[in-house]
Chain A
């Protein structure tokens, strides 16, 4: 069980965040660049000194600025997988994995390291230099190196960010497989929601040095609490005040929703629930308003259409719909959303 509470200032960053991670749990620390994710992770590892910090792992205090306890990085039972694998270029692949075991004066360092290499399927590369490995292979070795020291906590700092798109999918699958066999807590830092959703049980969203939301992955994606989280998981997040079946939005518009309740709420509209029309639609949708197309992003057979106007919203439609309706920038359109498609939950 990891309990970490970190407060530090570094340049323009003002980090003040706390999180827990249970044994066997994968927690993803998700946030934009500069949010302080990596700094938080480095503080947990003791690589950066925090102004105020309390870090405990399995009940053992690793750092407590209140009592002056500070265990050195090399004495913390923490394994780290870095963004650019950071395999020692002058050592063989095997010696890289054996490094932590040698630091612990394990007599069987080579044998144990070899076993780890076999586990990640790279036994054949034992005597190769890291430079001979592909990005994905290097990251697997880096994982083996971190796990070989039998840590109680595994920290992964953007482990897939340096990989190309195809390798990423493959390594993510492998990472998922190897992470499953590790029984300690795991903390994953990432800015990629897909990576977080694929690998983590729980999300902690960090924005501007603060935890803005945390919870199980589907909970957070269903109920994002900030614009950033909404953008991340691809839903439209609107803030307003509910009164019965109507949500009065901050921009002055109204949305009809089911079971909206009362008080401050978030209204979530999935882009796939947003329909676009060239003329004012006649039909069942309760929410209809005009807008102007701001941008059209083609994603294969799908397109994300950003619509500006009194109530800006993102719609996800098929590529053929974009062609048929001739949706392009500055096109005048009508937007409709069924009341049943507006998710409302308390702010």
Chain B
């Protein structure tokens, strides 16, 4: 393949841009504590955080699929007043500073929050500073990724397949289960992976709403941040592990987000 000539200023600036991304990666590799990595990564508090991260990110993804697919369905197909406003507001977490999300969750579901105080007095349920809060925080920031991806899939699918299914006698549920869902499966898969990756990396909303309780709300990103002060080697090792995980996600979604040519 013969490259097009690139003007010199562009080449310089583009190299700077690439360096901005690549140098930190190189730094992680250069400073990776090869000898202590294993012990640092298998330290009990790290393993606990990793396990908790796995539980919260998968729970958040499951919750996002359960609630997000119906929401995407409504966004793709329903028509009613205020729909666009609701859609915009539920997409907000994608651009909202996560800390703001955490504060908002606190005033809604906190012990004296508008819903939280009712949950507390009526059922004795207190969400903040529990694993449930970590899951809720992760869901709050990650679900929009799934909703938007599935919604796009639903909008682009050929709805005549659903009509064909109905003409064959399939009721709404069977049409959804056996035709709609399989046809948007690629979008659902991509949305779920994106959602999971975002949930796994969640920091700001979690530390604000769920706190930093080892064993119940201290997820990997929180553990990395704390370790940086006390045990920087562990932080670097963990960072590289999380980076590799992100790379796996990117490769898994290559058809969607990486140009193939």
- Which A residues are within 8 Å of any B CB, using their own CB? 45, 47, 72-76, 78-80, 82, 84, 86, 88-91, 99-100, 103-104, 145-146, 149
Give A76 to B171 CA distance when docked, in angstroms.
12
Task: Report whether B169 and A90 are in contact in the complex, using a CB–CB cutoff of 8 Å.
Answer: no
Q: Distance (Å) between the CB of A45 and the closest chain B CB?
A: 6
A76 contacts which chain B residues (CB < 8 A)?
167
Task: Report whether A80 and B165 are in contact in the complex, using a CB–CB cutoff of 8 Å.
Answer: no
Task: Report whether B164 and A74 are in contact in the complex, using a CB–CB cutoff of 8 Å.
Answer: no
Which A-chain residue is minimally distant from B171 (CB atoms)?
A74
**CB < 8 Å neighbour of B169 from A47, A88, A149:** A149
Give A78 to B168 CA distance when docked, in angstroms.
8
Task: Report whether B161 and A47 are in contact in the complex, using a CB–CB cutoff of 8 Å.
Answer: no
Give A76 to B163 CA distance when docked, in angstroms.
13
Q: Distance (Å) between the CB of B178 and the closest chain A CB?
A: 7
Task: Report whether A103 and B167 are in contact in the complex, using a CB–CB cutoff of 8 Å.
Answer: no
Give A103 to B160 CA distance when docked, in angstroms.
18
**CB < 8 Å neighbour of A104 from B169, B179, B183:** B169
**CB < 8 Å neighbour of A86 from B160, B169, B178:** B160
12 contacts between A and B (CB under 8 A): A73-B166, A74-B170, A80-B164, A82-B160, A86-B160, A86-B161, A86-B164, A88-B179, A90-B182, A90-B183, A103-B171, A146-B167
Which of A78, A84, A100 counts the most chain B CB atoms within 10 A?
A: A100
User: Which of chain B's residues 234-257 have a Cβ closer than 8 Å to chain A?
Assistant: none
Task: Report whether A79 and B178 are in contact in the complex, using a CB–CB cutoff of 8 Å.
Answer: no
A103 contacts which chain B residues (CB < 8 A)?
165, 168-171, 174
**CB < 8 Å neighbour of A45 from B167, B171, B179, B183:** B167
Task: Report whether B167 and A47 are in contact in the complex, using a CB–CB cutoff of 8 Å.
Answer: yes
B164 contacts which chain A residues (CB < 8 A)?
80, 82, 86, 88
Give A91 to B163 CA distance when docked, in angstroms.
16
Task: Report whether A99 and B160 are in contact in the complex, using a CB–CB cutoff of 8 Å.
Answer: no
B169 contacts which chain A residues (CB < 8 A)?
74-75, 100, 103-104, 149
Give A53 to B116 CA distance when docked, in angstroms.
52
Q: Mark B104-146, 1 if CB is under 8 A from A, else 0.
A: 0000000000000000000000000000000000000000000
Give A45 to B171 CA distance when docked, in angstroms.
14
Task: Report whether B167 and A99 are in contact in the complex, using a CB–CB cutoff of 8 Å.
Answer: no
B183 contacts which chain A residues (CB < 8 A)?
89-90
Give A80 to B162 CA distance when docked, in angstroms.
13
Is chain B's binding surface mostly helix, strand, loop or mixed?
helix
Which B-chain residue is minimally distant from A48 (CB atoms)?
B163
A-B CB proximity, top 7 nearest: A100-B168, A103-B169, A90-B182, A86-B164, A80-B167, A73-B166, A103-B170
Task: Report whether B179 and A78 are in contact in the complex, using a CB–CB cutoff of 8 Å.
Answer: no
Which of B163, B179, B185 counts the most chain A CB atoms within 10 A?
A: B163
Which B-chain residue is minimally distant from A103 (CB atoms)?
B169
Q: Distance (Å) between the CB of A2 and the closest chain B CB?
A: 15
**CB < 8 Å neighbour of A47 from B158, B163, B168, B170:** B163
Task: Report whether A99 and B166 are in contact in the complex, using a CB–CB cutoff of 8 Å.
Answer: no
Task: Report whether A149 and B168 are in contact in the complex, using a CB–CB cutoff of 8 Å.
Answer: yes
Which B-chain residue is minimally distant from A99 (CB atoms)?
B168
Give A86 to B160 CA distance when docked, in angstroms.
7
Q: Mark B78-103, 1 if CB is under 8 A from A, else 0.
A: 00000000000000000000000000
A104 contacts which chain B residues (CB < 8 A)?
169
B167 contacts which chain A residues (CB < 8 A)?
45, 47, 73-74, 76, 78-80, 146
Task: Report whether A74 and B166 are in contact in the complex, using a CB–CB cutoff of 8 Å.
Answer: yes
Q: Distance (Å) between the CB of B188 and the closest chain A CB?
A: 13
Give A90 to B182 CA distance when docked, in angstroms.
7
B179 contacts which chain A residues (CB < 8 A)?
88
Give A100 to B167 CA distance when docked, in angstroms.
8
Give A142 to B167 CA distance when docked, in angstroms.
12
A47 contacts which chain B residues (CB < 8 A)?
163, 166-167
Question: Besides A80-B164, A100-B170, A104-B169, 14 other CB < 8 A contacts?
Answer: A72-B166, A74-B166, A75-B169, A79-B167, A82-B164, A86-B158, A86-B163, A88-B165, A90-B182, A90-B183, A100-B168, A100-B169, A103-B168, A149-B168
Give A145 to B165 CA distance when docked, in angstroms.
10
Which of B165, B174, B182 counts the most chain A CB atoms within 10 A?
A: B165
Which A-chain residue is minimally distant from B165 (CB atoms)?
A99
B171 contacts which chain A residues (CB < 8 A)?
74, 103
A86 contacts which chain B residues (CB < 8 A)?
158, 160-161, 163-164
B182 contacts which chain A residues (CB < 8 A)?
88, 90-91
